[in-house]
Amino acid sequence: MERRKKKKGAAGVFLLLLLVIVLACLGILYALSLYSSALRQQAEADAALQRSEMENSLRSASAQASEELRERQEQEVREAEELCLSLKNSFLARDREELLLLVNPWNAVPEGYTPRLVDLGDGIWIDERAAGDLTAMLEACYADPHGSIPVPISGYRTQEYQQGLYDDKIRRLREAGWSEEDAPAEAAHSVAVPGTSEHQLGLAIDILDVNNSELDLTQSWTETQRWLSAHCAEYGFILRYPDGTSDITGIIFEPWHYRYVGKELAQKITASGLTLEEYLAQETE
């Protein structure tokens, strides 16, 4: 009886112990599950933070890259604009230099000078920069009741053509009684020595009145020359060899010979009352 009681007591203790162990195991499992859940949440939070930091860093890198690209593009545009401006200025400077080229008995056409010419018809060629203004001037002279019919007779000349004119002038002077020694110098007063004619630049044009084909003083009395000498500067031309200036220009009074220098300079030179020689000398003072 006593033994049976003891057995029952031991079984009760064992069951109790077992229960405690089971409860303890359950508790541990629950604690482990809580811990694992906390770890997962922490890992997810860390990952989200890392992703957000990465996105921010990418955004900032991309913003920096596009800012750098914009700055580089702006710099390239600025450089291209500066290059255009510098090219334009150098073209303008070259234009001005060429339009003011001094060619006279003491200053020859520069070696290798090659004008860019436009064909005006009837064998007359002129520098392309002068063509538009020349056409406008001739049309205005023709249209004006105080003008007449202007007839351009000579524009660009080659060295060979100028040589032919010069030789022909010497021949005619010799026929008129000039000596062989004196004829060339006399010829040079009215026909430029080859290599020293403005016509070789392509910037000069000889224009006559339709009613007078004489290359002499009477040309200045015609309606065409009166109109042209009064208005040529508006079209960029100057009367290159005015009356009473042959000691400066080296060429006799030629009321038919006009030189293109561009509108702005033509008006300045004409207003100054100076020959091209004097105007250029004054400019370099």
Give the separation between CA 195 and CA 141, rounded to whole angstroms: 31
Closest CA to 198 of 99, 106, 104: 104
- In residues, how long is the chain? 285
Task: Give start and end residues of each alpha helix (H) in the chain.
Answer: 2-99, 128-143, 159-175, 183-190, 223-231, 246-249, 263-272, 276-284
Give the separation between CA 158 and CA 36, rounded to whole angstroms: 103
Position among 257, 259, 262, 274 found at the interface with Zn ion (CB under 5 A)? 257
Q: Which is nearer to Zn ion, 141 or 207 (by Cβ)? A: 207
CB of 178: closest distance to Zn ion in angstroms?
Answer: 22
CB 62 within 8 A of CB 55: no
206 counts as binding Zn ion under rule CB under 5 A = yes
Write the interaction track for Zn ion spanning residues 207-246; mark x where CB under 5 A is met and - where it is not: ----------------------------------------
Tell me the window of 15-23, 51-59, 141-149, 205-213 that interacts with Zn ion (CB under 5 A).
205-213
Question: Is residue 254 annotated as part of the catalytic site, yes or no?
Answer: yes
**What token pair was written down for 164?**
């032919």
**What token pair was written down for 171?**
């021949």
Q: Which is nearer to Zn ion, 227 or 260 (by Cβ)? A: 260
Residue nearest to Zn ion (CB): 257
Q: Which is nearer to Zn ion, 129 or 257 (by Cβ)? A: 257
Residues 6+ apart with CB under 8 A from 277: 102, 104, 248, 249
CB of 245: closest distance to Zn ion in angstroms?
Answer: 15
Q: Which is nearer to Zn ion, 258 or 279 (by Cβ)? A: 258
Tell me which residue has tokens 């890392």. Answer: 50
CB of 148: closest distance to Zn ion in angstroms?
Answer: 19
Given 98, 198, 223, 254, which residue is catalytic?
254
Catalytic residues: 254
Contact set with Zn ion (CB under 5 A): 206, 257
